[in-house]
Amino acid sequence: MHVLSAVLLLAACKLVSAAPTPLFGIDLGEININTDGKTTDADTVPFSQDEITNTLVRPALFARVVYCSSPSVVNMTCGEQCDALPNVKILVAGGDDKRVPNFFVAHDVDTETIVVAHQGTEPANLLSDLNDLNFFQVDANTTVLPKANKDVKMHDGFADTQERTADLVLSTVRSALKSTGAKKVLVTGHSLGAAIASIDGMMLRMKLDPSIAVTTTVFGLPRVGNQAWADLVDSTLGSSFTHVTNQHDPVTQVPPQFADFQHPSNEIHITAVDPSGIIATAQRCPGQENQNCAPGNNLLDFNIDNHRGPYFQNISMANRFCPV
């Protein structure tokens, strides 16, 4: 069944590159990509403007600015995207926008937080990468995630990409906590960067002293691993992990559940954004794969623009939103 399904999705993804909407093509309209995994239809809870402002806006500003080129980010001279984050000192920035997506570790002086951010990739590229990689799963790397057991399987491309910066991120965060006296870490990213940030958040929670608060808040997250991965994220990060889905973003629904991928709990789902891009209506979605949120989206309603944003406060994330 999995082989057949993978072939069907492969065909569907080819269709995608030719004609982006509807994502999975009319012929596949009867196939629900989000079956075979654990789901819930627990009631959602409204998520207020204040909660958005207090918990999501700052991570989103960091997830946006990491799309700017490393040289322009080093001194926070990238323009509007950098100016939205005054008093931020970049400690390490790197990446080549390809094999190693841009990333940085920074000291957010105003909030006394060490911030780790990872850049994403264009959604069409991400969808085609997911296609090329055929959803291949590997065992979790126990050097990175010492508490992962043999049941935990992860998308090989996401795991590989995270490993390329894992040691530098960890050592920089450790020395930054020491030198600044900060007691908080924020890990964020969008798209592929959200996948890397999720693994980073798990790594940092497992490796840093428990007295350090680690918050992981990501946007447009594809599925990173299997059911055991989702359960390990829930038990390790609990409510310190949040993944934000915007309306009908298809990237948040790949790889599909039928290929044995599962999202952790703590989705915040944006159901509408006003035309100015500033005011979002959002809800908290209890449980894993809540059918009242993004996992319940109709296959034919996917909208790739929702992946880039705006999410709220007119914050959009992609290379085109930081051409410097």
Ligand X SMILES: *[C@@H]1O[C@H](CO)[C@@H](O)[C@H](O)[C@H]1NC(C)=O
- Residues within the interface to ligand X (CB under 6 A): 71, 74-75, 141, 143-144, 163, 166-167, 276-277, 314, 316, 321
Residues 164, 100 contacting (CB under 8 angstroms) = yes
Nearer to ligand X, 269 or 308 (CB): 308
Q: Which residues are catalytic?
A: 191, 249
Angle at 18 between CA 12 and CA 20, to 5 degrees: 75
Residues 19, 28 contacting (CB under 8 angstroms) = no
- 15: helix, strand or coil: helix
Least distance (Å) between residue 319 CB and ligand X: 12
Least distance (Å) between residue 49 CB and ligand X: 16
- 35: helix, strand or coil: coil
Residue 75 has phi, psi (to 5 degrees) of: -105, 15
- 154: helix, strand or coil: strand
Least distance (Å) between residue 30 CB and ligand X: 38
Residue 66 has phi, psi (to 5 degrees) of: -70, -10
Q: Which amino acid is at 55?
A: T
Closest alpha carbon to 206 in 182, 235, 181: 235
Distance CA 187, CA 184 (A): 10
Nearer to ligand X, 104 or 258 (CB): 104
Least distance (Å) between residue 146 CB and ligand X: 11
Nearer to ligand X, 136 or 321 (CB): 321
Nearer to ligand X, 9 or 192 (CB): 192
